Structure 1
């Protein structure tokens, strides 16, 4: 097997040999730039004491780079057609386990327990399919898996939403959710020209360093995220109006007005202007209001 699976000629050869047809429904785009793959693997900061979970390995281009650095790589691939291809392209690596499964229906903690229990650090590194980026990230974070960091290539627009600051048009419920659980940074951008087939959008590699403890104190986590979702439901409306139409009984409008006054929040503000601390304060007071 040629050393760089990601070599464009090699990728095309594998596709031809197996008569592989890309499925748009699975968001399949294979990265064919070895330098970018090296850069992703290096930015994940992995070594032989690291256990890595990769989601959507494709034909194994990134998997190979990870296996050369990590103690073990568990690659989760939903497409059964790619399993025999991966068995061939990665045959020489003894520290790779390929699992044919849908990551959204799979217990990450079970994989860690069964396959990566001996490693001091667990990291997720992947080129995520665009269509399931948010559900995958939300699953890993909200299930509070024993993952230390997540380094993934995703659609650039989504990366900008995740790392947005309060006040901007990209700032939304996904921003708040991810930043509650992790510190998010864009590492570098990736042009669409380095993929087969070429996607319609550019990508970015983002790194989420999972927090040991949330940066804010909230009474009810589930209620907190419910408030955040309602707050951004209609972006052009004020947060106050969104709460009235989506969470608070109209009969408690006057009490909500009083609450905003007590905690010194302007009822004319929109959700995108609220930082994590303000959402936390508001949520804790709203819970009291609803329980009265």
Structure 2
């Protein structure tokens, strides 16, 4: 049976020292050094041996080594060039029989496109996401990789709560609504601080998600625009909060009523289906006026003086 020799605290420190690595907050570098934790993450991800996993921020390879025996392939995306170069060597050393399952892309995950990863196409995301950019990375990958059907990511505990929040809860907001466009999400456990090096000053949690079809009738960009507008003034009734988005309070009320939404409701009460109906009901904008300005009267012709 193919297997990996997982990394413990001593191996993580040794690899870091060999690279002259000092973990930085800028890159969100907190490395998991506990084998039991990475095994638990792989089990909780509900993977099959046919899955092709995207792992963002593999770092020194702790989770990568746990993933390789469980799946068909792992696409690792690492922004730090030194860590990207080291990862293949670590796998060659500690899981040589599985090395052909790994491909490493040295890149910023926010700029990665599906074509950069090649084939086979990813079907799952399992990662210890950099906490400073975790939400935009997750949303970007779900946009860019339509074959991804499920996943499990580690993030700051408060962010996990927001992403998994349901409409009507205090934690529900822009990240919750946008993730709901792509997937159903739930909190899947917590991760103690002591399993990281260096120890972070925040608590960590696991977010599990399963892809679903987005609501019909509106484009994602249009739906996300109304989500952003609604939550920008979340304490206001939607009739007022969406006046800029719609063009006026009256136009906002017209769109809300057309979508079957109470104009006095607030943003946190709307699920992604309601936001989609609202985007589809947005009134057409009035055409812009002449170059002199919107609604500006044309200049009166004056008789030519002779």
Q: Give the TM bin, normalised by the shorter chain.
A: 0.7 to 0.9
Partner of 1:106: 112
Corresponding residue for 2:25? 24
Structure 1 residues 257 and 135: CA distance shift in structure 2, 3 A: closer
The CA distance in 2 between the partners of 1:256 and 1:12, in whole Å, is 57
Equivalent runs, 1:42-81 vs 2, <5 Å: 42-81=43-82
> Which of 276, 282, 288 is matched with 1:280 structurally?
276
The equivalences for 1:138-287 within 5 A come to: 138-211=139-212, 213-214=213-214, 216-244=215-243, 246-250=244-248, 253-261=249-257, 265-286=261-282
Deviation at 1:77, TM superposition (A): 0.9
Cα deviation per residue 1:190-216 (whole Å; 9 max; x = unaligned)? 1222110111111111111111x22x3
Is the Cα contact below 8 Å between 2:110 and 2:136 reproduced in 1? yes
* Structure 2: unaligned runs, 5 residues or longer: 288-306
Note if contact 1:74-1:115 (Cα within 8 Å) is conserved in structure 2. no
Q: SS where residue 90 of structure 1 aligns?
A: helix
Q: Contact 1:232/1:239 (CA < 8 Å) preserved in 2? A: no
Q: Residues 263 and 107 (structure 1 numbering): CA distance in 2 closer, same or farther, change over 3 Å? A: closer
Paired residues, what number? 279
1:77 and 1:102 in contact (8 A); partners too: yes
Shift of 1:257: 3.4
Q: Which has the larger radius of gyration?
A: 2
Q: Is the 8 A contact 1:138 1:178 kept in 2?
A: yes
- The residue number in structure 2 matching 1:4 is 6
- Describe the shift of the 1:145–1:291 C-alpha distance in structure 2 as closer, same or farther (beyond 3 A): farther
Q: Distance in 2 between matches of 1:11 and 1:81?
A: 15
| Greater Cα shift, 180-189 or 86-95 | 86-95
Q: What does 1:85-96 correspond to in 2, within 5 Å?
A: 85-91=86-92, 92=96, 93-94=98-99, 95-96=101-102
Q: Report deviation, 1:234.
A: 1.9
Shift of 1:270: 1.3
Contact 2:256 2:281 in 1 (8 A): no
Residues 47-80 of structure 1, C-alpha deviation per residue, up to 9 Å, x if partnerless? 3322111111111010000011111112111101
Report the equivalent of 1:35.
36
Task: Supply the RMSD in Å over aligned alpha carbons.
Answer: 2.1
Question: Separation in 2 of the partners of 1:172 and 1:84?
Answer: 38
